[in-house]
Copies of this chain bind each other. A is one copy, B any other.
Amino acid sequence: MAHTQRVREILSWYASENPGVKSNLARFLNTGYLAGTGKLVILPVDQGWEHGPHRSFAKNPAGYDPRYHYALAVESGCNGYAAPLGAVEAAVGEFNGEIPIILKMNHNNSLYESPNPDQAITASIADALRLGCAAIGFTIYPGSAHSQGMYEEIRALSAEAKSVGLPTVLWSYPRGEQLSKRGETAVDVTAYAAHIAAQLGAHIIKVKPPTAHFEQDAARKVYVENGRSVETLRERIADVVQSAFDGRRIVIFSGGAAKGTDAVLEEVKEIAAGGGFGSIMGRNAFQRPKAEAIKLLRAVMDVYKAAAEA
């Protein structure tokens, strides 16, 4: 399929990369209901790792089977599906290439918690290739005492991934003993986290929708001095997108804990209005019955489609 003007424009931001990386990026941009719009809705299912199986799947038990999520991503028209090694292996041998996959490379779990969290690397670039994945995914915890080790890990993995044509999707989640709980989603911290991800060479950056809280006084001062308003979510989204190379990196936003349909759509409208490139939405999708989940995902996609056409 010939690229749309918008896809071509987005790819031009990654001119340093080899055609393999750009072609795989294009696969996400050209898949599903939002194909060609430059917007992305991705289904991520790694909550079993993070919170345990029942907290993730008891509500909609179909989700215990990893094939359910793969099929949900395909049927709802998502641009991609992100999952850990085991879940990808459990589904992909049956489906083989129905949707681009992000192989999530590192994980944490809640059986051991630390004020300075870290993640274990549980997959390799060779795994991504043999499983036919189109990108790797990786979480960093800016603010953790272990964050620098994580930056070095992704540097190595990302370099290897690029050399074989795979782009990198970075989950940038601030956490650590010097950050308050509220600070983890503060607008200044979220903008900083997006910037760090961009500087690490990420092609797609995933952050949480930022709140109006400021964590760092030095940052707050700059916002005030320069008259940067972050009162509305759309302003804060724009603030974060600008922080990732002036909007020349794809920044998408996570949906967070499960909530009502109206709340989800309200948030997505703000993300779209602020120039966000899309959503990566897990629990709000797979914890609903399938028909409802597809309906919600389509509604979310329609918001982005309208924004792309505006």
Contacts and interface: CB of A to CB of B under 8 A. Distances in A.
Interface of A: 1-3, 11, 13-27, 30-31, 48-49, 51-55, 58-59, 61, 64-66, 71, 74-75, 84-90, 92-99, 107-114, 118-124, 126-127, 129-133, 142-145, 147-149, 151-152, 155-156, 159, 163-165, 174, 176-179, 188-189, 191-196, 198-202, 216, 218-219, 222-223, 225-226, 228, 239, 242-243, 245-249
A130 B18 contact: yes
A16 B242 contact: no
Given A19-B16, A127-B159, A223-B54, A26 B64 contact: no
Contacts of A174: 111
B228 A58 contact: yes
A64 B121 contact: no
A165 B84 contact: no
Given A13-B90, A152-B120, A191-B54, A131 B20 contact: yes
Given A85-B155, A85-B199, 19 more contacts: A1-B31, A15-B19, A16-B18, A18-B132, A22-B97, A26-B98, A51-B218, A53-B194, A55-B218, A65-B246, A85-B200, A86-B198, A107-B151, A108-B148, A110-B216, A111-B142, A111-B147, A111-B176, A126-B159
A199 B86 contact: yes
Nearest to A215: B111
B90 A145 contact: no
Nearest to A123: B155
A40 B244 CA distance: 30
B3 A98 contact: yes
Contact of A192 (B52, B94, B178): B52
A19 B97 CA distance: 8
Contact of A59 (B112, B193, B226, B248): B226
B20 A130 contact: yes
A110 B179 CA distance: 11
Contacts of A198: 86, 90
Contacts of A239: 54
A87 B120 contact: no
Contact of A112 (B31, B144, B194): B144
Contacts of A122: 151-152, 155, 199-200
A96 B55 contact: no
Contacts of A95: 3
Contact of A219 (B55, B59, B98, B249): B55
Contact of A143 (B90, B111, B148, B218): B111
Given A143-B112, A155-B124, A163-B130, A23 B92 contact: yes
